Amino acid sequence: MYLCPLIAPMEYRFQDIEKKWQHFWHSNQTYRVDEHSTNPPYYVLDMFPYPSGAGLHVGHPLGYIASDIFARYKKHTGFNVLHPMGFDSFGLPAEQYAIQTGQHPAKTTKENIARYRDQLDKLGFNYDWSREIQTSSPSYYKWTQWIFIQLFNSWFNPKTNKAEPIDQLIQYLQAHGLSAEFLASISGGMDTELEPFTAVEWGAFTEGVKQSVLMNFRLAYLGESFVNWCPELGTVLANDEVVNGLSERGGYPVERKLLKQWSMRITAYAQRLLEGLDALDWPESIKDTQRNWIGRSEGASVRFPLINHEGWIEVFTTRPDTLYGVSFVTLAPEHEWVSSLCSVEQKAEVEAYVAKSKHRSERERMADVNTISGVFTGSYVAHPFTHEPIPVWVGDYVLVGYGTGAVMAVPAHDERDFKFATHFFLPIKQVIQPQQPHDFSLGAWTEKAGTLINSEALNGLSVYDAIQKMTDNIAHEGFGSKRINYRLRNAVFGRQRYWGEPIPVYFKDDIPYVIPTETLPLNLPEVDKYLPTEDGDPPLGRAVHWKFEDFYEYEKSTMPGWAGSSWYYLRYLDPTNENMLAAPDKIAYWRNVDLYMGGAEHATGHLLYARFWCKFLKDIGIVPFDEPFKKMINQGMILGRSSFVYRVVGESTFVSAGLKESYRTTPIHVDISLVSNDRLNIEGFKAWRTEFENATFILEPTGEYLCGYEVEKMSKSKYNVQTPDELVERFGADTLRMYEMFLGPVEQSKPWDTKGITGVHGFLKKFWRLFHPSGTFEVNDATPSLEHYKILHKTIRKIREDLDRFSFNTGVSNFMICVNELTEAKGNYREILEPLTVLLAPYAPHITEELWALLGHEPGSLYNAPYPTVNPAYLVESQHEYPVSINGRMRFKMTLSLSLTKEEIETVVMSESQTIKWLEGKDPKKIIIVPGKIVNLVI
RNA sequence: GCGGAUGUGGUGAAAUUGGUAGACACGCUAGACUUAGGAUCUAGUGCCGAGAGGUGUGCGGGUUCGAGUCCCUCCAUCCGCACCA
């Protein structure tokens, strides 16, 4: 069997193998799936990428590889697996590029997609490309527009807790009008100042009035609201697109501006979005972030009647128990009654203050949260119970968008109110006696603990009881009601941009109407430039002959980036359907996503919006489920590992990292392609840039130049970007796939470092060599020994366990251990190698396909081969190597039969010479024996 | 400030139920072979110590026969939210 290897060994030629099988899979449509299968369906989805001009770097495929391995595993274990891919192809970068170059964003996008597709294909994913979608293609956005129309034509009925046709609401209003009670019941999801009206009044309203009333109910609506306006980008942004007062893309300042905007009434779904989280198998951190973002707080609204004015100021409070401690009321500067409330003497001061706050950007306002500012309006409200006059102030610590834009200030029991009161010398009234000593001159007592004092009927109650009682009292006396408030804001849905889905709306007498669904899609028109018009209209204002029925103006803003991604998982189920977004039987077959793989950075954007649309689509009967993604895993970020050379200050001399302490140096980023295991390719470095042509080097004693390193985000400017392409070229896709998994747990962020890749590549070579013991392919059909079976079945068990808990990194290790042991054990048995090939197939699909074919199977059949199962009979052990510990510390080992009883083990251990040595003549106080595990002697 | 995550060799990491800490891999050291190749193979490699041995999972404490794992306190790093009433 072991012949003298005169012929050159047949090496592992990964480049040929990978090219061959990628071509095979493509031309045989190996990964194409349909719903005509007796196997149960399983839906694996990756967050689809935005095809940027830079292409993929090694960080992008991390999640794709993990989900691909899992999808293949599911396929081998008898599931009908759907694993599609597409492109989120509307977006700002292509448009910015278009503005600079005049090139149509569709062209750039197409080129970028081709590049991405090419890069993805090289990694051997099992995507069913026949289902590819692109959000910017009219056949796709036709249905994004269709959903918008459904949202426009729906309202959220709080009684049924779901969306219903707006026509039903119209019928109701015709019959009953709009009562005050009805209005109160819907206050949660609305930001409305609607007045009640009767059925007769409704009938008498003009079309314009009717439509503006209905606009308060529609789930997609045109409303005036404060938005995040970004002048540099010339567009509004959603809350999740603003980070620390700057735009997420580009980092430009963002200001608050009152604008008429298309918005989504996501707040109507706040409670359902919150409740739905509990049942989801998502990372806790994402669920927490969403809970936080939704920000539910339970409390009461309380009305304070104005003195010498009509009406009242309504506040929201979570602490109605402290009502007797109110010493002033504060309004947000944007509160609509500020100007009408200020007295003649205070007018100038108030107006100046309001003007100042308006011009402060969101960022400035956040930057000095500790600066206390405010101004007295000169007006008073009456305390609802004591009727004492309470001064009304304006302060920018009160936010117009939260609660009612007004707060009742209880300085003794709220930290901000306390600071405000001490700054302006306002009274501080204690109404809760804490159990422990507390100095009320130093700060507020904000714990929800203690006994009520100075509060008439509430005196003596605990905080908890007082909250209940006061909430009831307020409602009973008619001063307010119990109320649940959410931090979640309605989402702005229009962008003053070109490269997005046109909003399917036209205007007739200034009233917006949706276009008939039969006329969809409303195609994105051509424009001469991608800039706003001279009149300040969005770029769509440049389109010529672009009118509904050649007469009515279309809406000129487009949809935001998150529109297309909010429902794309449904389109994969039926990507070419021209009559509906997806056929009901296909939706019913595949259902929602079983495993969703993607980044955690979408926690409050995409993942919340997609859940919202899913709930809406359920309400209108399109989907039979309430949540889009059952289980989610967030892959960690792969960070770059930048390399540095150290230039001696003022010279063209570079000193090696080990010697740099003796010099004054400046670190300079060096392209990582010039560095291998921290050693600099000096000739390459000199040739890299002309300025380094004549550089001199101070080397280590070994004659090498060592580079320093730092872990940073991967970026072109840091010369630390690693593309998958070059690694696929050098080591092959199977190596790259396994190496990315080998780096560590998928959900953990980690620095990229190619150092270890040779280890994984070496493993695949070693695996290949098992099938080529003397150079050529050769397997042994004889029956393997028990030892071989044991190695195999131990591995099967571990690999399956690792896959079931998404522990891909330990999976790779276990394959390595297996191949090391089989190499050691010798013997290229078919009965061992064949199941091992299937076992490895999800991780390394190319090499296993090649070997599978060499083993004599039909090419391409590996994908459908059943996954090996464990035969426990091979794993039964008769002996165990017992660690013997003295006082919990392992001292030596003894191999004993597992059939021994505790007593027998004790006898053997106690008579062992090592034991006697360690006992030093003492008697053990206690002997712990756990059969099959350990022995511990306590002395 | 609130919430979450993480902390283990020179490096990436493993330890699934409280039971041999550092599997696997990189790197490093020494050696073998070779048509110097980024090939292959052998041995070693947590730290201190010549060795016996001691010591070791961010710090300090606790529970336990036994703790990386459970409990408490603190520290550091990262992420999310943040005048949210």
pLDDT for residue A557: 93
Q: Is the pLDDT of residue A187 over 60?
A: no
Answer yes or no: is A893 CB < 7 A from strand B. Answer: yes
Strand B-proximal residues of A, range 784-823, CB below 7 A, are: 798, 801-802, 805, 807, 809-810, 812-813, 816-817, 820, 823
Lowest mean pLDDT among A29-33, A329-333, A397-401, A840-844: A397-401
Round to a whole number and report the distance in Å from the CA of A228 to the C1' of B47: 56
Answer yes or no: is A684 CB < 7 A from strand B. Answer: no
| Burial A469-500, CB ≥16 within 10 A → b, else e | bbbebbeeeebbeebebbbbbbbbbbbbbbbb
Phi, psi of A757 (to 5 degrees): -65, -30
Q: Is the pLDDT of residue A189 over 60?
A: no
Instruction: Tell me the HSE value of A724 on the side-chain side, using a 13 A CA sphere.
Output: 30
| pLDDT over 70, % of chain A | 96
Q: Which residues contact A460 (CB under 8 A, 6 or more apart)?
A: A451, A452
Longest dimension (CA), chain A: 109
- Which position has the higher pLDDT, A556 or A224? A556
What band does A7 get if pLDDT is binned at 50, 70 and 90? very low
**Is residue A298 classed as helix, strand or coil in its secondary structure?**
strand
**Residue ranges of the alpha helices (H) in A693-785?**
724-731, 733-742, 757-770
DSSP string for A891-913? EEEEEEETT--HHHHHHHHHHSH
**pLDDT tens-digit profile of A611-669?**
999 999 999 999 999 999 999 999 988 888 778 888 888 888 898 877 777 888 888 88
pLDDT for residue A361: 60
**pLDDT tens-digit profile of A555-604?**
999 999 899 999 999 999 999 999 999 999 999 999 999 999 998 888 88
d(CA A684, CA A897): 62
pLDDT for residue A820: 93
CA-angle at A32, arms to A26 and A37, nearest 5° = 150
DSSP string for A433-477? E-SS---TTT----SS-SEE-S-GGGTT-BHHHHHHHHHHHHHHH
- Please state, rounded to an integer, the average pLDDT across all residues of chain A: 89
Q: Please choose, from the candidates A365, A346, A347, the residue with its C-alpha nearest in 3D space to the C-alpha of residue A356.
A: A365
The answer to whether residues A896 and A867 touch, using CB atoms and an 8 Å cutoff, is no
Round to a whole number and report the distance in Å from the CA of A780 to the C1' of B25: 30
Strand B-proximal residues of A, range 485-544, CB below 7 A, are: 485, 487
Round to a whole number and report the distance in Å from the CA of A884 to the C1' of B60: 30
The answer to whether residues A751 and A62 touch, using CB atoms and an 8 Å cutoff, is no
Lowest mean pLDDT among A524-533, A588-597, A747-756, A801-810: A747-756
Nucleotide nearest to A880 (CA to C1'): B20
Answer yes or no: is A7 CB < 7 A from strand B. Answer: no
d(CA A835, CA A871): 12
d(CA A757, CA A739): 6
Strand B-proximal residues of A, range 582-621, CB below 7 A, are: 600, 603-604
Q: Is the pLDDT of residue A365 over 70?
A: no
DSSP string for A1-58? ------SPP----HHHHHHHHHHHHHHHTTT---S--SSPEEEEEEPPPP--TT---T
DSSP string for A144-206? HHHHHHHHHTEEEETTTTEEEEHHHHHHHHHHH-B-HHHHHHTTTT----PPPB-HHHHHHS-
The answer to whether residues A528 and A542 touch, using CB atoms and an 8 Å cutoff, is yes
Q: Is A363 exposed, middle or buried (0-12, 13-18, 19+ CB in 10 A)?
A: middle
Answer yes or no: is A340 CB < 7 A from strand B. Answer: no
- The mean pLDDT value for A444-449 works out to 86
Q: Give the tokens for residue A270.
A: 């706040």
What Rg value do the Cα atoms of chain A yield, rounded?
35
Lowest mean pLDDT among A54-68, A337-351, A703-717: A703-717
Round to a whole number and report the distance in Å from the CA of A279 to the C1' of B6: 26
pLDDT for residue A601: 84
Phi, psi of A641 (to 5 degrees): -115, 105
Round to a whole number and report the distance in Å from the CA of A762 to the C1' of B39: 10
Phi, psi of A74 (to 5 degrees): -60, -40
Round to a whole number and report the distance in Å from the CA of A89 to the C1' of B38: 39
- Residue A867 burial (CB count, 10 A): 20
**pLDDT tens-digit profile of A902-916?**
888 888 888 888 888
Answer yes or no: is A397 CB < 7 A from strand B. Answer: yes
Round to a whole number and report the distance in Å from the CA of A891 to the C1' of B40: 37
Compute the Cα dihedral for A48, A53, A58, A59 and give only its sign: negative
Answer yes or no: is A305 CB < 7 A from strand B. Answer: no
Nucleotide nearest to A891 (CA to C1'): B20
Answer yes or no: is A422 CB < 7 A from strand B. Answer: no
Q: Please choose, from the candidates A176, A162, A199, A184, the residue with its C-alpha nearest in 3D space to the C-alpha of residue A622.
A: A162
**Is residue A650 classed as helix, strand or coil in its secondary structure?**
coil
Distances (CA, A) of A479 to A321, A475, A795: 14, 6, 70
Q: Which residues contact A346 (CB under 8 A, 6 or more apart)?
A: A375, A376, A377, A378
Place of tokens 């695996």: A767
Round to a whole number and report the distance in Å from the CA of A929 to the C1' of B70: 22
Strand B-proximal residues of A, range 211-270, CB below 7 A, are: 240, 243
Round to a whole number and report the distance in Å from the CA of A896 to the C1' of B39: 43
Answer yes or no: is A926 CB < 7 A from strand B. Answer: yes
Round to a whole number and report the distance in Å from the CA of A750 to the C1' of B58: 19
Nucleotide nearest to A244 (CA to C1'): B82
**pLDDT tens-digit profile of A146-177?**
999 999 999 999 889 999 999 999 999 999 99
Answer yes or no: is A371 CB < 7 A from strand B. Answer: yes
Round to a whole number and report the distance in Å from the CA of A934 to the C1' of B53: 23
**pLDDT tens-digit profile of A850-893?**
999 999 999 999 999 999 999 999 988 888 888 888 888 888 88
What band does A921 get if pLDDT is binned at 50, 70 and 90? confident
Answer yes or no: is A297 CB < 7 A from strand B. Answer: yes
Q: Which residues contact A227 (CB under 8 A, 6 or more apart)?
A: A236, A237, A256, A257, A258, A259, A261, A492
Answer yes or no: is A291 CB < 7 A from strand B. Answer: no
Answer yes or no: is A427 CB < 7 A from strand B. Answer: no
ipTM of this predicted structure:
0.94
Round to a whole number and report the distance in Å from the CA of A624 to the C1' of B16: 36
**pLDDT tens-digit profile of A736-788?**
999 999 999 998 888 888 888 999 999 999 999 999 888 789 899 999 999 99
Answer yes or no: is A83 CB < 7 A from strand B. Answer: no
- The mean pLDDT value for A696-705 works out to 81
pLDDT for residue A8: 41
Torsion-angle region of A405 (φ positive above 0: left; ψ -120 to 50: alpha; else: beta) = left
Distances (CA, A) of A784 to A129, A789, A822: 42, 7, 11
Answer yes or no: is A117 CB < 7 A from strand B. Answer: no
Residue closest to B26 C1′ by Cα: A756
Strand pairing report for A296-305 and A451-452: unpaired
DSSP state of A790: H
Nucleotide nearest to A744 (CA to C1'): B13
Answer yes or no: is A894 CB < 7 A from strand B. Answer: no
Round to a whole number and report the distance in Å from the CA of A418 to the C1' of B71: 37
- The mean pLDDT value for A37-47 works out to 96
Strand B-proximal residues of A, range 833-892, CB below 7 A, are: 881, 883, 885, 887-890
d(CA A568, CA A291): 24
Round to a whole number and report the distance in Å from the CA of A669 to the C1' of B43: 39
Round to a whole number and report the distance in Å from the CA of A620 to the C1' of B3: 35
Residue closest to B25 C1′ by Cα: A759
Q: Is the pLDDT of residue A191 over 60?
A: no
DSSP string for A326-361? --EEEE-TT-TTHHHHS-TTTHHHHHHHHHHHHHS-
Residue closest to B67 C1′ by Cα: A888
The answer to whether residues A87 and A522 touch, using CB atoms and an 8 Å cutoff, is no
Peptide bond into A521 cis (omega under 30): yes
What band does A6 get if pLDDT is binned at 50, 70 and 90? very low
Answer yes or no: is A483 CB < 7 A from strand B. Answer: no
**Residues pairing with A643 in the sheet:** A670, A709
Nucleotide nearest to A937 (CA to C1'): B65
Round to a whole number and report the distance in Å from the CA of A778 to the C1' of B4: 54
pLDDT for residue A254: 74
Residue A809: its H or E element: helix A808-825
Nucleotide nearest to A925 (CA to C1'): B65
Q: Which residues contact A320 (CB under 8 A, 6 or more apart)?
A: A299, A300, A302, A466, A467, A470, A471, A474
Nucleotide nearest to A316 (CA to C1'): B85
pLDDT for residue A9: 47
As ranges, strand B nucleotides with an atom below 7 A of a protein CB are 3-5, 11-16, 19-21, 23-28, 38-41, 65-67, 78-81, 83-85
Q: Which residues contact A69 (CB under 8 A, 6 or more apart)?
A: A737, A741, A803, A808, A842, A843
Nucleotide nearest to A884 (CA to C1'): B20
Nucleotide nearest to A928 (CA to C1'): B65
Round to a whole number and report the distance in Å from the CA of A436 to the C1' of B73: 22
**pLDDT tens-digit profile of A231-244?**
777 777 777 677 76
- The mean pLDDT value for A351-369 works out to 72
Strand B-proximal residues of A, range 160-189, CB below 7 A, are: none
